[in-house]
Amino acid sequence: MSTELIALIDKSFKEIREGSIVIGRIIEIQPQVVLVDIGYKSEGAIPISEFEDEDIEVGNDIEVLLERLENDEGMVVLSKEKAAHKQNWDKIVKVFHDGGLVKGKVKAVVKGGLMVNVGVEAFLPGSQIDIIPPKDLTEYVGNIYEFKIVKVNDERKNVVLSRREVIEAERTEQRQAFLKDVNVGDAVEGIVKNITDFGAFVDLQGMDGLLHITDMSWGRVNHPSEMLTIAQTVKVQILEVDKEKERVSLGLKQLTPNPWEDIEKRFPVGDHVKGKITKLVPYGAFVEVAEGVEGLIHVSELSWTKRITRPSDVLELGQEVEAVVLGINIDEQKISLGVRQLEPNPWENVESRFPIGSQIKGEVRNLTPYGAFIELEDGIDGMVHVSDLSWTRKINHPSEMLKKGDELQAVVLEIDKESQRISLGVKQLETDPWEEIGKRFNVGDTVKGTVAKIAAFGAFIQLEDDVDGLVHISQLSEEHVTKVKEVVNIGDEVEARVIKVDKVERRIGLSIKAASYSEEELKKETAAFDALRPSSDLVGLEQAFQVAEEWRPGEENEEEEK
């Protein structure tokens, strides 16, 4: 046979056989390679690494891919892995076209997802691993799952998988089966899938149900995370089912008795209860008196006498407290509690301890522009209004006569139990000097005194027994006076004539310039003094610096606090 004919036969054999899968027999196992006979003139050598995780023996028949009939060394080039890959690739392509599923083992984490062995290497994108994006991809390595083939590139031999579509399809079937059989009132088990501020989503065999925060407990729940954790198995009750919208509402507290059903028997009004403070708010404190049952102590029910503005000033979160049941509203599931009711109300019999007209002694606790607060006993204050400090002196501010810490004697003038107010008076300890003012001061009398106050319209002169007289600016000098301080200053000793005594207005009109006037001249000055307009030219001793403000027991002096 000619050389040309042999070459042609060899070429023809290669075209038919190379690239095909053939059966070979293992004839020798060496440390690095396995020798395989395929019935050709020479053996093929396959790297032993292709037989990893496989028990092999001499004489075993195996399927191999015939890559080349002869290499440079005259040996047949074979591959067991490529034979398996070719067979598997054909299967993958068929499964892809048929829309079926394929099993595979996750081999490694790669950029953007996972590498999976499904007979051939395939890529599983991170977005297709699960319906919830996983945080740690390494937990999937080594596991076997079912996948849907979503893309095959025959040229590049690329395969893209999706596990998420498999899970979604399974959940759809499970969801339909669940909705078909479930009924309101059923108790079912599920796994907490997600937690939000308003509740938790529970996976019920492929169906997501909402467990709202208000249905978690009969008691107060500030956040769902206080009761549940993700992946926790929880037993719940079906509250509502909407099969068209595929929505399910769940309840946890409904699996336990409602503690509010017999609440009036368990906590009668007037009973003493103990509990733990669960929440502090500006208007009060919530107290858990039993599992699932809270009551509210309003800030106004904390003390009979102290004016508490914030409950957190006297109470702490988690503190054990005792209280009295004041009222129950079953419809709104509210219990009103009180702490001050644990002690007698000191205002109940306040009249018997401080009768009107009786004299008391107490410490000046606080000063305000309109009066002074006197502590009668712990938590009970009385107030001396600035107008009740003196019969005769015109007091602008109580600090002119008093300071904090002074011990003061006063008379009880009035008691208002409802408003919790006691009015006191200091001037009432003495007889009103204006009752007999006519016996002490008469028009024409010459008097001496000290300048006590200066106003724009004149100067107030302190006479004997703390009686004040007013020298109007027009009565200071024969000369025209623009400012009072041009003639007199506080503390100056002056001599003046009485030109007016008005018991109704409680004022004494004085004149320095008329000190040496005759009777006739004095009458003219009196007439001129009477002609002054009370609203602007002359202000009565009672009204000149009068302060009309409301007051409340226990209020602090705002200006002092600043």
Tens of pLDDT along 299-319? 988 887 777 888 988 898 989
Task: Please enumerate, as own/partner, the contacts of 69-77 that have beta carbons within 8 Å and a separation of 24 or more.
Answer: 69/10, 69/13, 69/14, 69/17, 69/18, 69/40, 70/42, 74/42, 75/42, 75/43, 75/44, 75/45, 76/38, 76/40, 76/42, 76/43, 76/44, 77/44
Answer yes or no: is pLDDT of 321 > 80: yes
Give the pair of three-digit tokens for residue 447.
């008097």
Strand 334-338 vs strand 187-195: parallel, antiparallel, or unpaired?
unpaired
The confidence band for 523, taking pLDDT boundaries of 50, 70 and 90, is confident
The confidence band for 17, taking pLDDT boundaries of 50, 70 and 90, is low
Answer yes or no: is pLDDT of 336 > 90: yes
Count how many Cα atoms sit within 13 Å of the Cα of residue 426 in the half-sphere of its side chain. Answer: 24
- Average of per-residue pLDDT across 510-515: 84
pLDDT for the residue 434: 75
pLDDT for the residue 72: 65
> What CATH number does the domain located at 3-83 have?
2.40.50.140
Answer yes or no: is pLDDT of 553 > 50: no
Please give the mean pLDDT across all residues of the chain: 81
> What CATH number does the domain located at 434-530 have?
2.40.50.140
Query: Whole-angstrom Cα distance, residue 131 to residue 377?
Result: 71
Judged by phi (left if over 0) then psi (alpha if -120 to 50, else beta), residue 458 lies in left
Query: Whole-angstrom Cα distance, residue 296 to residue 288?
Result: 9
Strand 187-195 vs strand 468-472: parallel, antiparallel, or unpaired?
unpaired
pLDDT for the residue 217: 85
pLDDT digits (tens, 9 = 90+) for 189-231: 888 988 999 999 998 877 888 999 988 887 778 899 988 988 8
Please give the CATH superfamily to which domain 350-429 belongs.
Nucleic acid-binding proteins (2.40.50.140)
pLDDT for the residue 532: 62
Q: First vs last Cα of the chain: how many Å apart?
A: 124
Domain spanning 99-167: CATH 3.40.50.1100: no
Contact 78, 48 (CB under 8 A): no
Query: Whole-angstrom Cα distance, residue 282 to residue 270?
Result: 25
Query: Whole-angstrom Cα distance, residue 338 to residue 343?
Result: 10
> What CATH number does the domain located at 263-341 have?
2.40.50.140
pLDDT for the residue 133: 80
The confidence band for 81, taking pLDDT boundaries of 50, 70 and 90, is low
| Neighbour tally for 433: CB within 10 Å | 18
- Average of per-residue pLDDT across 468-477: 88
Answer yes or no: is pLDDT of 12 > 50: no
Length of the chain: 562
More confident residue, 176 or 534: 176
pLDDT for the residue 247: 85
Strand 284-290 vs strand 320-329: parallel, antiparallel, or unpaired?
unpaired
Helix (H, G, I), strand (E, B) or coil at 444: coil
pLDDT for the residue 298: 93
Q: What percent of the chain has pLDDT over 90?
A: 11
Burial of 55: CB neighbours in 10 Å, binned 0-12, 13-18, 19+: exposed
Alpha helices, DSSP H, located in 248-346 = 263-266
Contact 116, 123 (CB under 8 A): yes
CATH 2.40.50.140 domain range(s) in the chain:
3-83, 99-167, 182-255, 263-341, 350-429, 434-530
Domain spanning 182-255: CATH 3.40.309.10: no
In degrees and rounded to multiples of 5, residue 255 shows phi and psi of: -85, -5
Give the pair of three-digit tokens for residue 28.
């020798």
Answer yes or no: is pLDDT of 42 > 80: no
The confidence band for 74, taking pLDDT boundaries of 50, 70 and 90, is low
Q: What percent of the chain has pLDDT over 70?
A: 89
Count how many Cα atoms sit within 13 Å of the Cα of residue 411 in the half-sphere of its side chain. Answer: 12
Query: Whole-angstrom Cα distance, residue 383 to residue 389?
Result: 11
Q: Which residue has the tokens 């479930």?
A: 182
Helix (H, G, I), strand (E, B) or coil at 511: strand
pLDDT digits (tens, 9 = 90+) for 110-158: 998 999 888 788 899 989 988 878 888 889 999 999 999 888 887 777 8
pLDDT for the residue 53: 67
The confidence band for 345, taking pLDDT boundaries of 50, 70 and 90, is confident
Answer yes or no: is pLDDT of 99 > 50: yes
Contact 239, 249 (CB under 8 A): yes
pLDDT for the residue 442: 83
* Residues 6+ away with beta carbon under 8 Å from 482: none
